[in-house]
A and B are shown apart, each in its own frame.
Chain A
C-alpha cells in the first residue's frame, strides 16, 4: 500500500515540496503535479478528502494555506493515508513550533529530511511522534557540533 508521491501545494498553486516514491520521468511528474493541483484546488470544503485521478487515488487535506496531497493505489486504505498526512503535519508543527508556509519555504530541505524520517518507499516507517523528532534533533546536533569545530579552528 505505498504512497506514490507527496505534494505540498499552496492555495495559489505553487509547489512547496514534491517527493516521489516511484520512478517517473520529469514530464510525467510535471503533468501529475499540474493536473492533481488543479483537481484539488477546485474541490469545495464539504467534499470528501479522496478523489480519483486516472488509475490512482488522490488523498489530500488542507491545513491553512497549504494543501498536503498524496497519490496512492486505488485499493489503499484512504483514512489511514489521511492520518499519515496528519502525523507529518504534527511533526512539522512540533519541530518548527507552530509551523507556517514560510517555515517550509525557507527550510525546504528540513521538510524533506523530516519526511524521510516518516516515509521510505512510500510506506510509514515510524508512526510515533517522538522518534522521528529525536533523529532530526540528533542530526541538528551533529550539524551544530561541526559548525562549532569550524569556528574553533
Chain B
C-alpha cells in the first residue's frame, strides 16, 4: 500500500532544483520527524512512514543518526508491512557492531521460530544482512535447524543456506562446519533446483576451508551436472533463455575446481561427458544476448575446470581453439574473457606452443580501445612468458609502457622486472632492460625493483663491471631519473673501481657525474650519495680533496641525517690511518638467496573465507598453492608415507609393530594437522569428565585405554625415538549402529608438531575399530600436552575432548654415565635456577622398585654405582628437540625410609626443563594405581 506522505515527500525533494533547497527541505523534515518521535505514541503506520522517509534521505546520501529505535520497534509489530519496513530500516541504518544488535536478536529469534514462513524469511534476511558476531553466536543453530529440518519449505531452506553462508564468511569459527557437513551435503540432492543452487553456494565456501569433510560432494556435483546437461532433466521454470539454470551449472563447475580430480573412473568419465557436451553446445553463437552470455558463462567455467583437471587433455586442446577464435571476436566481452581464460591456461600448462601461435594477436590487444581488455592482455603476456619469448614480450611491453595508462604502469614495471629476472639467459640483457625501465618509467618503479637490481648485481660478479659502465652511461643522459641515481650511486660506490681505467670513467669523472645532480634530489638520495662518496675515498684516494669539501659543506646542513653522515664520514676520512676506513668500506658480502620481494608484492594474500583463487596469474610455479593443489599434495603425502611403511626406509627407524620410518619431509610438510575448530571455549574447559583416571595411567608411557564410555572406546599406542615419535589412536564403536560425521582434530601446543598421515574415515561401522596414525615432532621445549577433540553423530552430535599423554619426557633418550662424568657435569650445571629440588612425601611405604620404574618410564637411564649411598638413585638422559637442540638432564633421587620421604633434585641445562621434569617425576612418584 502506498504511503501518501512518503510519496509527497519524495516528489517535494525531486522538485528541489538546487542542492540548497534540497538541504532545506531535508532539514525541515528531519526536525519534524524528530519532534514526532519525541512526542511518542505514534501509530504503527506513522512510524513506518517516518522510518521510510528517513531511509529515503539515507539513500540520497544524508547522514541519519536517529530513528534506529523506531525501526527496532517496528520489527516486533504484528503487522507484516510494518515489520518489513522495520527490518529494512535496521539493515540499512545499523552496522553489525551496533549496540542495538542485542535488542533485535530476540525479535529475530521469535520470527525465526514463528509458524508463518514469511516471518521466518524476514528474520533470515536480517541475519544475512547484518551478520555480526553476536548474531552469529546466538542464532547460527536456529538457522541450521531451518536449513536441515524436513519440515522447512523450499523457499525457507534457500534463504537459510545463504544466511549460514554469510555467517560463515564473517565468523567461520561459529559454524561447526565439519559436524554439519554430511547433512548439508545431502541437501544438494534436493529436487528443487533453487535449493540446490543455494546449498551449492554454501558448500563451495565451506569446502574451501574443510576440503576433507566435504569430499562426498564431488560425486553428487558430477551427477547433478550430468543430469542437467547430458540427460537434460530439469524443471521448465528454471530455463533461462533456452539454457537450464546456468547459475547452478556455473556453481557446480566452480565447486569441482576446489578439489583435486576424482580418481573414480566412472565419475571422471561422466564429468568428461559433461564437459564435452558443453564444448559441443557452444559451436553455435546464439543471436540473443542473454542466451549467448549464459552459454558462454558456462563454457568459460567448463574450460577452467577442464584446465584444472588436466591441462593437456583433448578437451583443453579443443578449448584452446575456441579461445583463439574468441580473442579475435568483435564483441569486447568475449575478447576480454578469451584473454582471461587463456591466461589461466598459460599459467598452469607446460605446453605453451598452442598459445604462442597467437602471440601477435595478444600483443595487439595491448592496443585495444578498452583498458579492461588491455589489462587482460598484459596478464596473459605475463603468464605465457618463458625463456624463448621473453625478449620479444619484454621489449613489446617496454615499448608499450610509454603509452600505457597511468593506472597500469606500476604493475607493468613490476611484471617486466620479474619476467626479466626469471627468464634472462644473458646477464647483460637483464641489466639493460632494468636500467632502461628505470630510466624511462622511473616514477612507476617501486623501491623493491631497484633493491632487487642491487641484490642481483652484488651476487653476480660477472655483472658488476658491465652494470657500472651502464649506470654511468644512463646518468649522463639529460633526463636521468632519481631512481637511476640511487642505483647508480650504489653500484659505483661498490664497483666504480672496475671501470676507473676506461675513458670517461676516471674517478673524478664518476664523482662529477653523481655530484652534478646531487643538489636536485631528495634528502634520502643525498644521504645515499654521501655514503657513495665515503666509499670513493676508500677506492680512489686521489679525489679525496674534492669529496672532503662536500662533507665539510654538509656538516652544517639543517637535516640531521645528512649532517650526521657528513660529520661521521669526515671524521673517518681524516683519521691518521686508513684502517677504519678500509674496514667500514669493505666490499658488500653477497646477499643470502631469498624470495624476490617483487613476487611477494605481486601475490598479496587474500582473506580467510573469501573465495580462494583457483589459479593465479603468472607461470606454473605461482600455482602450486591453490586449494585443490594443496589437497592433492596432501593425498600424495598419504601415499608416500604408506610406501615408507612398506619399504622401511627413512633416516631414523623406530622399533615396534613393524611400522618404521620417519615420514619423509615432503610428505610431512604439506600435511598439517587439520586446523582445530576453534570455539569460544578453550578446550581445557571441555575435558571429558572422568577422563583423568585413564590419562594418569598412561602418563608414564604405557599403551592402553585413553577413554571409554557407552559408545566409544579410545586407545593409544606410541613409540618415540629422539625428537620424533609415532602415535596410533584406536577408535572403537561399541554400539550396533554406525557413527557418522566422525571427525578428529588435534590441538598441539606450540613447538610440538602432530601430523596425521592419512585422512581419517568419516564414519565408524557398528562394532568396528578404526585406527589413526600420527607422527610427532618435538621442535622446541614444550610444557603442555596436546589435546584431541573427537566428534561424531549418534542421534545427536557428541564430542569428547581429551588430553594426549605426550609429555616432554617422551623425547628423552636414556644415557648411562660413569661416576666421574656424572659429577663433573652435575657441578657444571650448578645450583638454581637450573637446579630444582623438592621433598616429596611418598604416598604409601617407600618402594624402591616403584621409584626405579617411575624413572625408567620417563625414559631416564639409571646410573648404577654412582651414588655412594645404596638405595639412592642417579639417573640421566638427553632431551631432544629438532629446533632448540638437546638438553642434558641429570637427577638424584634420595629416598628416606624413616620419614617416608623422597628428596628429588633435578639439574638440566635449561631451567624450564628442570622445573617441568621435576613436576613430571613428582606426579609419577605420587601416583598410586590402587587409588583408581
How far apart are A1's CB and chain B's nearest CB, in angstroms? Answer: 6
Query: Which residues of B have CB within 8 Å of A78?
Result: 297, 333, 336-337
Which range holds the interface residue count of chain A? 35 or more
A109 touches B10 (CB 8 A): no
A23 touches B1 (CB 8 A): no
How far apart are B516's CB and chain A's nearest CB, in angstroms? Answer: 41
User: Which candidate, B31-39, B160-168, B443-451, B910-918, is the interface stretch facing chain A?
Assistant: B160-168
User: Which candidate, A63-71, A81-89, A91-99, is the interface stretch facing chain B?
Assistant: A81-89
> Which of B80, B128, B198, B204 has a CB less than 8 Å from the CB of A143?
B80
A127-B247 contact given A79-B296, A83-B290, CB 8 Å threshold = yes
In whole angstroms, how far apart are the Cα atoms of A40 and B611 in the complex? 25
B653 contacts partner chain A, Cβ-Cβ < 8 Å: no
For residue A82, which residue of chain B has the nearest CB? B293
B1 touches A125 (CB 8 A): no
A127-B240 contact given A77-B301, A78-B337, A138-B118, CB 8 Å threshold = yes
Query: Which residues of A have CB within 8 Å of B238?
Result: 127-128
A125 touches B197 (CB 8 A): yes
A17 contacts partner chain B, Cβ-Cβ < 8 Å: yes
B96 contacts partner chain A, Cβ-Cβ < 8 Å: yes
B125 touches A126 (CB 8 A): no
A50-B125 contact given A79-B300, A146-B79, CB 8 Å threshold = no
A125 touches B194 (CB 8 A): yes
In whole angstroms, how far apart are the Cα atoms of A14 and B14 in the complex? 12
Chain A-chain B contacts (Cβ-Cβ < 8 Å), number: 175
Query: Which residues of B have CB within 8 Å of A131?
Result: 155, 194, 237
B824 contacts partner chain A, Cβ-Cβ < 8 Å: no
Query: Which residues of A have CB within 8 Å of B333?
Result: 48-50, 78-79, 82
Q: Output the residue of A2, A44, A126 with the most chain B CB within 10 A.
A: A126
For residue B238, which residue of chain A has the nearest CB? A128
> Chain B 267-308 against A: per-residue CB contact (8 Å), 1 yes, 0 no?
000000000000000000000001001101100110000000
For residue B78, which residue of chain A has the nearest CB? A146
How far apart are B704's CB and chain A's nearest CB, in angstroms? Answer: 48
How far apart are B284's CB and chain A's nearest CB, in angstroms? Answer: 17
In whole angstroms, how far apart are the Cα atoms of A121 and B1 in the complex? 28
A109 touches B245 (CB 8 A): no
For residue A127, which residue of chain B has the nearest CB? B247
Query: Which residues of A have CB within 8 Å of B893?
Result: none
B428 contacts partner chain A, Cβ-Cβ < 8 Å: no
In whole angstroms, how far apart are the Cα atoms of A120 and B1 in the complex? 25
B810 contacts partner chain A, Cβ-Cβ < 8 Å: no
B335 touches A108 (CB 8 A): no
Query: Which residues of A have CB within 8 Å of B60?
Result: 14-15
A152 contacts partner chain B, Cβ-Cβ < 8 Å: no
> Chain A 18-56 against B: per-residue CB contact (8 Å), 1 yes, 0 no?
100101011000100000000000001011111110000
Query: Which residues of A have CB within 8 Å of B84?
Result: 109, 113, 139
Query: Which residues of B have CB within 8 Å of A12?
Result: none
In whole angstroms, how far apart are the Cα atoms of A126 and B60 in the complex? 29
Query: Which residues of B have CB within 8 Å of A30?
Result: 61
User: Which candidate, B179-187, B364-372, B739-747, is the interface stretch facing chain A?
Assistant: B364-372
**Residues in B195-252 with C-beta less than 8 Å from chain A:** 197-198, 201, 204, 237-238, 240, 245-248, 250-251
In whole angstroms, how far apart are the Cα atoms of A30 and B128 in the complex? 21
Query: Which residues of B have CB within 8 Å of A74?
Result: 613
A87-B79 contact given A48-B370, A123-B162, A126-B194, CB 8 Å threshold = no
B513 contacts partner chain A, Cβ-Cβ < 8 Å: no
B85 contacts partner chain A, Cβ-Cβ < 8 Å: yes
> Chain A 104-147 against B: per-residue CB contact (8 Å), 1 yes, 0 no?
01101100110010001101111110110001001100111011
Query: Which residues of B have CB within 8 Å of A77?
Result: 250, 254, 297, 300-301
How far apart are B200's CB and chain A's nearest CB, in angstroms? Answer: 9
Describe B's contact surface by its main secondary structure: helix
For residue B126, which residue of chain A has the nearest CB? A116
> Which of A48, A106, A127, A143 has a CB less than 8 Å from the CB of B194?
A127
A87-B131 contact given A2-B611, A121-B163, A146-B79, CB 8 Å threshold = no
Q: Output the residue of A86, A105, A127 with the most chain B CB within 10 A.
A: A127
Query: Which residues of B have CB within 8 Å of A138?
Result: 118
In whole angstroms, how far apart are the Cα atoms of A101 and B118 in the complex? 28
Query: Which residues of A have CB within 8 Å of B95?
Result: 23, 25-26
> Which of B169, B170, B198, B370 has a CB less than 8 Å from the CB of A125?
B198
B52 contacts partner chain A, Cβ-Cβ < 8 Å: yes
In whole angstroms, how far apart are the Cα atoms of A125 and B157 in the complex? 10
Query: Which residues of B have CB within 8 Å of A135?
Result: 118, 121, 155
B162 touches A121 (CB 8 A): yes
A144-B610 contact given A80-B294, A84-B247, A139-B118, CB 8 Å threshold = no
How far apart are A20's CB and chain B's nearest CB, in angstroms? Answer: 8
**Residues in B71-94 with C-beta less than 8 Å from chain A:** 79-81, 84-85, 88, 92
Query: Which residues of B have CB within 8 Å of A76?
Result: 611
B634 contacts partner chain A, Cβ-Cβ < 8 Å: no
B158 contacts partner chain A, Cβ-Cβ < 8 Å: yes
For residue B92, which residue of chain A has the nearest CB? A112
How far apart are A77's CB and chain B's nearest CB, in angstroms? Answer: 5
B468 contacts partner chain A, Cβ-Cβ < 8 Å: no
A48 touches B159 (CB 8 A): no
> Which of B10, B159, B290, B369 has a CB less than 8 Å from the CB of A86?
B290
For residue A16, which residue of chain B has the nearest CB? B59
How far apart are A79's CB and chain B's nearest CB, in angstroms? Answer: 4
B614 contacts partner chain A, Cβ-Cβ < 8 Å: yes
A47-B81 contact given A87-B240, A113-B88, CB 8 Å threshold = no
For residue B80, which residue of chain A has the nearest CB? A142
A1 touches B204 (CB 8 A): yes
B726 contacts partner chain A, Cβ-Cβ < 8 Å: no
Mind listing 19 A-B residue pairs with CB under 8 Å?
A: A1-B251, A2-B169, A14-B60, A15-B59, A15-B60, A52-B372, A76-B611, A82-B333, A83-B240, A83-B297, A120-B128, A126-B194, A127-B194, A128-B238, A135-B118, A135-B155, A142-B81, A142-B118, A144-B1
Query: Which 9 residue pairs are nearest across A and B when measured between Cβ atoms?
Result: A121-B166, A79-B297, A48-B332, A120-B162, A80-B297, A143-B81, A123-B201, A142-B80, A47-B370
New contact pairs (17) apart from A126-B155, A150-B45, CB-CB < 8 Å: A2-B611, A48-B335, A48-B370, A48-B372, A77-B301, A78-B336, A109-B88, A112-B92, A113-B84, A120-B162, A120-B166, A125-B158, A127-B193, A127-B245, A128-B193, A139-B80, A142-B80
